């Protein structure tokens, strides 16, 4: 008879919260006897289930966006490496036979293009190449016009890198916010489910069927063995402080 926990799949916790709402149709008087007449367990359970479902869907979308962002960043890095190889090849053609060729190539790139693997490093490498193209423009264009094409390519590559970098920063913030929102919604749902069980246990002497039916509900929505009693948990080690999760602000559900 498992009450959901932080390790329970989100969809099971949502299903359990909605099932606990229906439990209140029969045992609202039991819950009110334990919590007080203002307790509105059914509405609260439906609300936390909806909020958890919504925040879980939002986080899933953000994680998909993260995958897209990773792909776009990879494409920008690949384009950068291609641009760097092209400028180095042009420099080798323009300065072929020059005794200072190695030093000139270092003007264009501090390391092999394949070693450029981050947006920041790519920006730095492109800007270095731009400076080298401008510095060596006369020799680059001596036999074939090369510099204008490479400078235009550099501008396009920087646009790609800037877009990828901006998206990365935005996605980090949005994913962090979505994760926090789901964590808070999950905490609220788990706390409410636990409070409902505590109410049923508090009234077990007078209405044992309320607790028995709640356990049956847990069996159907989250069929994983666990401790049956919150009292047993507290004294023997099933229910820890982490199982009664405080929502943001620590307010008790109204």
- In this predicted model, what pLDDT tens digit does every residue of 35-62 receive, in sequence order? 999 999 999 999 999 999 999 999 999 9
| Res 252: pLDDT | 43
| C-beta neighbour count of 166 within 10 angstroms | 11
Mapping DSSP onto H, E and C, the string for 198-211 reads HHHHHCCCCCHHHH
**Residue 3 belongs to a domain:** no
Token digits of residue 1: 């008879």
Domain for residue 5, yes or no?
no
Residue 18 parent element (H or E): helix 10-35
Domain count, the chain: 1
Which pLDDT does position 222 carry in this prediction?
Answer: 82
Please give the structure tokens belonging to residue 228.
Answer: 């049956």
For the segment 136-158, what is each residue's pLDDT rounded down to a tens digit?
999 999 988 999 999 999 999 99
Domain annotation covers residue 153: yes
Neighbours of 249 (CB within 10 A): 6
Residue 193 lies in a domain: yes
- 250 backbone dihedrals φ, ψ, rounded to 5°: 75, 15
0.75 exceeded by pTM = no
80 near 157, Cβ under 8 Å?
Answer: yes
Q: Is residue 28 part of a domain?
A: yes
User: What secondary structure does DSSP assign to 88-107, as a single string?
Assistant: HHHHHHHTTT-TTHHHHHHH
17, 32, 104, 197, 226 from 217: Cα distances, Å: 10, 19, 75, 11, 14
Average pLDDT value for residue range 8-34: 96
Do 6 and 245 form a contact (C-beta atoms < 8 A)? yes
- For residues 186 and 162, the answer to whether their CB atoms sit within 8 Å is no
d(C-alpha 252, C-alpha 249), whole Å: 9
Q: Collapsing DSSP states into helix, strand and coil, what is residue 130?
A: helix
DSSP 204-242: TTT-HHHHHHHHHHHHHH------S-HHHHHHHTSS-GG
For 95, the domain range is 10-243
pLDDT in tens, 64-88: 999 989 999 999 999 999 999 999 9
Q: Is residue 227 part of a domain?
A: yes
CA distance 84 to 196: 64
2 located within any domain: no
Specify if 4 maps to a domain.
no
């Amino acid at each position: 008879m498992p009450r959901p926990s932080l390790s329970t799949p989100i969809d099971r916790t949502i299903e359990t919260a909605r099932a606990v709402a229906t439990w209140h149709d029969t045992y609202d008087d039991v819950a009110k006897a334990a919590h007080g007449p203002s307790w509105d367990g059914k509405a609260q359970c439906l609300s936390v289930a909806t909020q958890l479902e919504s925040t879980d869907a939002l986080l899933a979308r953000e994680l998909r966006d993260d995958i897209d962002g990773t792909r776009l960043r990879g494409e920008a890095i690949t384009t950068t490496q291609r641009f760097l190889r092209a400028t180095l090849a042009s420099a080798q053609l323009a300065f072929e036979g020059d005794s200072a060729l190695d030093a000139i190539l270092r003007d264009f790139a501090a390391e092999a293009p394949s070693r450029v693997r981050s947006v920041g490093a790519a920006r730095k490498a492109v800007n270095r190449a731009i400076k080298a193209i401008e510095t060596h423009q006369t020799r680059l264009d001596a036999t074939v016009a090369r510099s204008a094409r490479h400078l235009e390519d550099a501008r396009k590559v920087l646009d790609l890198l800037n877009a990828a970098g901006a998206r990365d920063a935005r996605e980090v913030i949005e994913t962090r916010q979505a994760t926090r929102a789901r964590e808070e919604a999950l905490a609220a749902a788990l706390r409410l489910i636990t409070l409902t069980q505590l109410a049923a246990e508090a009234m077990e002497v007078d209405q044992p069927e309320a607790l028995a039916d709640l356990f049956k509900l847990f069996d159907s929505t989250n069929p994983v063995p666990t401790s049956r009693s919150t009292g047993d948990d507290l004294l023997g080690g099933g229910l820890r402080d982490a199982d009664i999760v405080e929502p943001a602000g620590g307010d008790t559900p109204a």
